[in-house]
């Protein structure tokens, strides 16, 4: 029997959203992955590094799965539940986890690392990245691009202004990297299909990725949630499109 709206809502509200593991969505939502394979490419770069920094590591899942870590490996994270999870996961692999407020300055000396990485950073402090990189070092990152999952965002928040829709454009990232003194050596972008198979998946996603729809709560958006539940029940999965881009920049 198909779960009721109330049951799906209660389940999605009660599940933990700590860390950066989306396995709870298995069978309930799907996201097409970028063609380049960020984790594999990160592993190749970690294998060549002697000292590396992973910024906004989340629960450490992506870094832990990237392969052997370099002799000096540090990860930063700001959210306490993620700090605890990343510490449990990364310490046995030889990585130190540092609590950092995601505001400049980074708590490291000049030219401390030959690789700085970050998957889906919320903020990017380009001058700080350039400062902690050694000459010849690289910044390697997969980021969320403009208007990502905006079909869902605008369903709850309404039409967004153009400056919001264009935010996080890869061309802007490249410009800011170069302004900080880095040379962009790779820049790729893709838009990818995402499907939400039930209203619980929608709630879980918006609870976990809180910056997608600021102010979203089940109580505040109950009517829209019920309308979307009915739409999914009658028409099938809700389809949105994620935006992803890959950027690699080198310090001369």
pLDDT, residue 142, reads 98
Main-chain phi, psi angles of 239, to 5 degrees: -105, 130
pLDDT, residue 120, reads 94
Full residue range of the structural domain in which residue 29 is found = 5-251
Sheet containing strand 29-31, edge to edge, reads 29-31, 182-196, 238-251, 133-144, 113-119, 51-54, 72-77, 95-99
What is the distance between the alpha carbons of residues 48 and 235, in angstroms, rounded to a whole number?
49
Specify the CATH number for the domain of residue 119. Answer: 3.40.50.150
Q: How many domains does the chain have?
A: 1
Instruction: Report residue 233 as tokens.
Output: 């029940």
Structure confidence at residue 213 as a pLDDT band (50, 70, 90): very high
pLDDT, residue 21, reads 82
Q: Does position 55 have pLDDT exceeding 80, yes or no?
A: yes
Mean pLDDT score, 118-122: 95
């Amino acid at each position: 029997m198909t779960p009721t709206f109330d049951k799906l809502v209660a389940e999605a509200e009660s599940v933990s959203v700590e860390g950066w593991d989306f396995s709870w969505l298995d069978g309930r939502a799907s996201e097409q992955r970028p063609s380049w394979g960020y984790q594999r490419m990160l592993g190749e770069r970690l294998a060549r590094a002697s000292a590396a920094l992973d910024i906004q590591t989340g629960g450490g899942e992506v870094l832990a799965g990237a392969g052997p870590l370099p002799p000096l490996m540090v990860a930063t994270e700001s959210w306490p539940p993620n700090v605890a999870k990343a510490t449990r996961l990364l310490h046995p692999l030889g990585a130190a986890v540092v609590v950092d407020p995601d505001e400049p300055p980074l708590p490291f000396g000049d030219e401390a690392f030959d690789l700085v990485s970050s998957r889906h950073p919320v903020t990017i402090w380009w001058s700080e990245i350039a400062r902690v990189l050694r000459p010849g070092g690289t910044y390697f990152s997969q980021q969320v691009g403009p208007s990502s999952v905006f079909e869902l965002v605008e369903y709850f928040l309404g039409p967004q202004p153009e400056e919001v829709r264009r935010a996080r454009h890869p061309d802007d990232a490249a410009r800011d990297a170069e302004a900080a003194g880095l040379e962009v050596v790779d820049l790729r972008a893709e838009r990818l299909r995402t499907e939400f198979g039930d209203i619980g998946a929608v709630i879980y996603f918006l609870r976990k990725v809180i910056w997608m729809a600021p102010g979203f709560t089940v109580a505040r958006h109950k009517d829209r949630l019920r309308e979307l539940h009915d739409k999914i029940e009658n028409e099938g999965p809700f389809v949105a499109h994620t935006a992803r881009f890959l950027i690699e920049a080198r310090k001369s």
